[in-house]
Structure 1
Amino acid sequence: MREHPRVDRRPVRRLKPDPGAPPPDDATLQTWPFTVPAVRQVLREGFELPTGALVLVGENGSGKSTVVELLAGALGLNPEGGSVGTRHSTRASEPRPLDMIVERSPGGERWAYLLRDETLHGLYTYLEDNRGPSSDDEHPGRREPLFHELSHGQAFLELLLRRATGPGLYLLDEPDAALSFTGSLALVTALLDLVGLGAQVVVATHSPIVAALPGAEVLEVGPWGLRPATWERLELVDDWRRFLDAPEAYLRHLR
């Protein structure tokens, strides 16, 4: 019996360079974000999004958050967090979108949402000022909480669980900054549930817990640009192992 080919329903398959756009000139290539190797690689080669989850890991300044911001910009998401329809801005700091084409799957879900740790405070304020309808007998518990009355980690998880309820593309930039050890495990559980519903997830993280998301593809970001990696061979994981085994070996150099 013939097998039917598997239908690709990824909300976003890839970003690819726009062949009709003029290439950036030499002066432009010497300015941020084009000086970031990961950005230069995306501009040159495009950026493939897998089915399920993709984890970006790298040092501060490596470009992992910038790649997330560029992807959000290409999708038209609010740069400081939220969906396409979110109208919230404090101070623009994100790079302008590159000349890229977003390749989607026919019939794929178009819902997308961005959560950036560094702009969560402003997003919480916006959402509280534009809260959903009150609870009633027909829709109990529907009204959103006051996010500012929760802890940083509680508010982040509450918002994620309320916005990430089905297929779509979810971009999370350094969510581990808000989370404890158990909170990070709760995040991994939520992301696994999302992937199980057919969602795509892209996470930029410093957390070895989040980077261990089962089934996720991992890209290590650094001076080389973007390269495939496994959790066991990440510099991040090796650094934490060494520190936890012998913290004094690191701390004595700080005095």
Structure 2
Amino acid sequence: MAQYRIDWLSPDDPPPVATVPAAGDSPFLLIGDHAGIAVPARLGSLGVSAADMARHIACDIGVRGLGEALARMLGAAFIHQSYSRLVIDCNRDPRSPEAIPAVSDGTLIPGNQAIAPDEAAARIAAIHNPYQDAIKQAIAPDKAMGNARVLVSLHSFTPIMQGFERPWEIGVLHGGGDERFAIAMLDVLQARGGIVVGDNEPYRMDGTDHTVPRHAFATAMPYVEIEVRQDLIGDPAGQDRWAGIIAEALTAAFSRI
């Protein structure tokens, strides 16, 4: 069993993992690597301004609400991280320098400068490990029974990055492992019409991704990583609208595999 440093978190800090339990026998497991915005009390503000903490560098804006809406619509479990990606990025290999970013999209993160190995290990043990273990435990019964539940990783992206306006409204990321479901999802969304769909845009699934490869690739678990533009899911109405679009597409894609 993984060793956690829950004592590193204070009694007033939220648990590292939040879960909306499944309300039915859904074939989907929803996850949100960057849904959280909390910072442990011992780290203060990480030296980051409130304005910067409200930006995409701190969390995937809108993903928590999107995931909760999707969970309601699908009767699926939604496992998401409680803490900001600036504390530790749970979609990065914990050994990577990107796991505890010193700079994010040009913004210096003072609380992440010259992190001692013991401090990095404590963040990994208290936050990264419990999140990854929760996903592993949720998947384990399906593997034991031979079922092929689909891992659905939810992310969001900023409308403008480094001066470049991103036209996509939703992106489907894939690359490695069993891509059949992701490709089916892409086909369904493209055939729907009326929305701008990116195929591995605005990001590609590559060596920087950690969660989906860790849990889905080795066992050929069907998966899809979804990116939704943040200005479209910044409020409950937008989150419900896009949850409806995604739920419909997930269901249609599942019927094809």
For the pair shown, the structure with the greater C-alpha radius of gyration is 1
TM range (shorter): under 0.3
TM-score by length of 2: 0.26
TM-score by length of 1: 0.26
